[in-house]
Amino acid sequence: MVVVFLAQGFEELEAVAVIDVLRRAELAVTVVAVGGGMVVTGSHGISITADITENELDCAAPDAIVLPGGLPGTTNLEKSPIVQKAIDDAVCKGTWICAICAAPSILGHKNLLKGRDATCFPGHEQALDGAYISENAVVADRPFITGKGAGVAVDFALEIVAALCSPERANRLRGIMQCV
């Protein structure tokens, strides 16, 4: 199972593209609302109904967690004790932790990216304290996958598919979806 956390003010494209691509890859995806209520509104006014609330989450064994960016979505994710615990549990278990746009800053604030390759939305690099900042749009440095922003959301999602399934499945989806 892949857990995608959504908090008020999330970047819609980063969330929806990831959820869609992962489900096309036939991965089980659970969308988790952070901050109360099942409906979460993104930074551009688009609302999404989550599968469960953060209080219903059983993080026993996800295959990956995904943190979409956006503001104030990233800040709201970072404030959540349940998101923080999910990250801590994922680190302990070696589970993939995937963050895009401003959300890699959450990992940086936890000192998880020191000595690792990572990327983020331009202007948030200082929060990735000790990371080797890559100019690449998407970077995988196990157990982390980071992405620059909304424009690379599909590539970010396909990198998650490659990590969880196989590069072949990711490439097959890339072709089916007409990604060039």
- pTM: predicted TM-score of the whole model, two decimal places: 0.97
Q: Where are the domains of the chain?
A: 2-176
Q: Could you give the angle at the alpha carbon of 87 between the alpha carbons of 83 and 93, nearest 5°?
A: 140
Q: pLDDT of the chain along its 180 residues, tens only?
A: 999 999 999 999 999 999 999 999 999 999 999 998 999 999 999 999 999 999 999 867 799 999 999 999 999 999 999 999 999 999 999 999 999 999 999 999 999 999 999 999 999 999 998 999 999 999 999 999 999 999 999 999 999 999 999 999 999 999 999 997
For strands 132-133 and 117-118, give the pairing: parallel
What's the token pair of residue 87? Answer: 């990250």
Q: What pLDDT does 137 receive? A: 98
Q: Sign of the C-alpha dihedral, residues 171, 173, 176, 178?
A: negative
71: which DSSP letter?
T
137: which DSSP letter?
S
Cα 86 from chain centroid (whole Å): 12
Q: What pLDDT does 59 receive? A: 66
The pLDDT tens digits for 80-109 are 999 999 999 999 999 999 999 999 999 999
Q: What pLDDT does 164 receive? A: 98
Residue 134, CA distances (Å) to 9, 54, 80, 122 in order: 26, 32, 28, 11
2-176 has which CATH code?
A: 3.40.50.880
- Cα–Cα distance, 83 to 23 (Å, whole number): 22
